[in-house]
């Protein structure tokens, strides 16, 4: 057996940095918080929440959209969901802006963590939250993004997901 397992707890010395979270843990915390913000925007009534984050240097771009039943809806169109039990959602520009600002503040924490841990920040993160299973699936990419990809990426992911939803 390992010497560490055999030692008494009082003999184990932990340094402060041993108790700190890794970059990966901090990034996961940020991802969860960003999805929670998106869930609150839709009053936690969407079946799926999709958040797309692009980071190119100090430029951050975030977009989010939802699936209600068999309808995939952009954030500004969620009042078009078919469920009668739903309230109307505040889809005003002001609320969308406030939501994006909250998400951006959270993502800035991930950028600070990457700097602190001397790790690269992912250039693209796709977060898919499924309400039924209460699971979050993150997908990350670590490439430099050209301007064309940066400009079209949000829409492309929306259309990719829309195609899959239409097959349901």
Q: What CATH number is given for 21-166 in this structure? A: 3.30.500.20
Does the structure show a pLDDT above 50 at 137?
yes
Rg (CA), the chain: 19
> What is the average pLDDT across 145-152?
80
Cross-strand bridge partners of residue 127: 51, 138
Sheet of 135-141, strand order? 71-74, 59-68, 48-56, 124-130, 135-141
Q: With contact defined as beta carbons under 8 Å apart, do 124 and 145 qualify?
A: yes
Domain regions of the chain by residue span: 21-166
Give the number of residues written for the chain: 168
Mind listing the pLDDT tens digit for each residue in 56-106? 888 899 999 999 998 999 999 998 887 646 668 999 999 999 999 999 999
List, for residues 104-119, the tens digit of each pLDDT value. 999 999 999 999 999 9
């Amino acid at each position: 057996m390992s010497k560490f397992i055999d030692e008494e707890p009082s003999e184990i010395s932990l340094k402060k940095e041993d108790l700190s979270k890794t970059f990966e843990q901090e990034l996961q915390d940020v991802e969860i918080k960003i999805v929670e913000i998106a869930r609150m925007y839709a009053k936690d009534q969407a079946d799926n929440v999709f958040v797309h984050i692009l980071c190119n240097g100090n430029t951050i771009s975030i977009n989010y959209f939802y699936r209600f039943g068999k309808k995939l809806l952009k954030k500004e169109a969620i009042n078009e969901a078919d469920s009668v039990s739903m309230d109307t959602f505040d889809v005003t520009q002001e609320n969308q802006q406030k939501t994006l600002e909250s998400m951006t503040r959270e993502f800035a924490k991930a950028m600070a963590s990457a700097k602190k841990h001397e790790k690269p920040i992912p250039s693209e993160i796709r977060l898919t939250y499924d309400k039924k299973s209460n699971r979050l699936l993150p997908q990350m990419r670590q490439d430099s993004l050209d301007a064309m990809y940066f400009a079209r990426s949000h829409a492309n992911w929306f259309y990719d997901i829309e195609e899959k939803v239409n097959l349901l």
